[in-house]
Amino acid sequence: MNWSRTCLVVIPCFNEGKSIALVARDARRRLSAVMVVDDGSSDNTSTLARSAGANVVRHARNLGKGAALRTGLALARQQGFQWAFTMDGDGQHRAEDIPAFLSCAEDTGASLICGNRMHMAQAIPPLRRAVNRWMSRRISQRAGRTLPDSQCGFRLIALNDWAALRLESDHFEIESEMLLAFVRAGHQVRFVSIQVVPKGPHSHICPIQDGWRWLRWWKGCHGGRVWGCQRPAGEAAKAQC
């Protein structure tokens, strides 16, 4: 497959002026088409992303990671791309891991390939590690299969399959919603091991506010109100490439 023609890198970000230029440049070394979705930043994120060769789309105000991802993925599909990578703009994902995702897609035909950091879990800050494991256990139980790193935003997504789903989350719960929606729709989901890069002391995740949003979303899953959370008939395929 000619990935340079069929795949775009989508980087949603908010006030990532310190890291976005390096992230965009590194991504362009692997795949030439890179789109940065500036989610209402008040710093120079957009300017620096453009200087690094990325196409920039900007929200007038901060809408949340889920909303930024929907903007980027929808535009990628409109522009004729069949696949999209999603990477965070804070530098915690390494572009040199991209070939592992591409190989997994070619070898397995999976529609969603997610990064998995659990082989190096001790390198993740303790609170984030504990929360990730707790959420991943809950989501795995709901999905009826093991989803080892449900909160990783480094993903390769088949855009036509994504477009057929009804994803509504505007914030960080988008990672969980997307996973369950792909499984529910019967699409093959795989994980590939990636590097663990510390995020440092600053994070855009607010433990109280975003934790509350996730719990509200999860309650919707159990109440049957979230389409992507319906339990699949059965999924026992191998998860790890």
The stretch 28-44 carries a mean pLDDT of 97
State residue 222 phi and psi, 5-degree precision.
Answer: -70, -25
Q: Where are the domains of the chain?
A: 3-229
Which pLDDT does position 218 carry in this prediction? 59
CA 154 to chain centre: 5
The stretch 72-97 carries a mean pLDDT of 96
Q: From CA 67, how far away is CA 196, in angstroms rounded? A: 25
Q: What are the helix (H) ranges across the chain?
A: 3-6, 20-30, 45-51, 65-78, 98-108, 126-143, 159-163, 174-184, 207-222
Which pLDDT does position 215 carry in this prediction? 63
Q: From CA 67, how far away is CA 86, in angstroms rounded? A: 13
Q: Position 2: which residue type?
A: N
Distances (CA, A) of 161 to 77, 209, 219, 223, 234: 11, 30, 25, 25, 19
> What fold does the segment set 3-229 form as a domain?
Spore Coat Polysaccharide Biosynthesis Protein SpsA; Chain A (3.90.550)
Listed range (31-35, 95-99, 123-127, 150-154) with the worst mean pLDDT: 123-127
The stretch 183-196 carries a mean pLDDT of 95
Which pLDDT does position 168 carry in this prediction? 83
Which pLDDT does position 131 carry in this prediction? 77
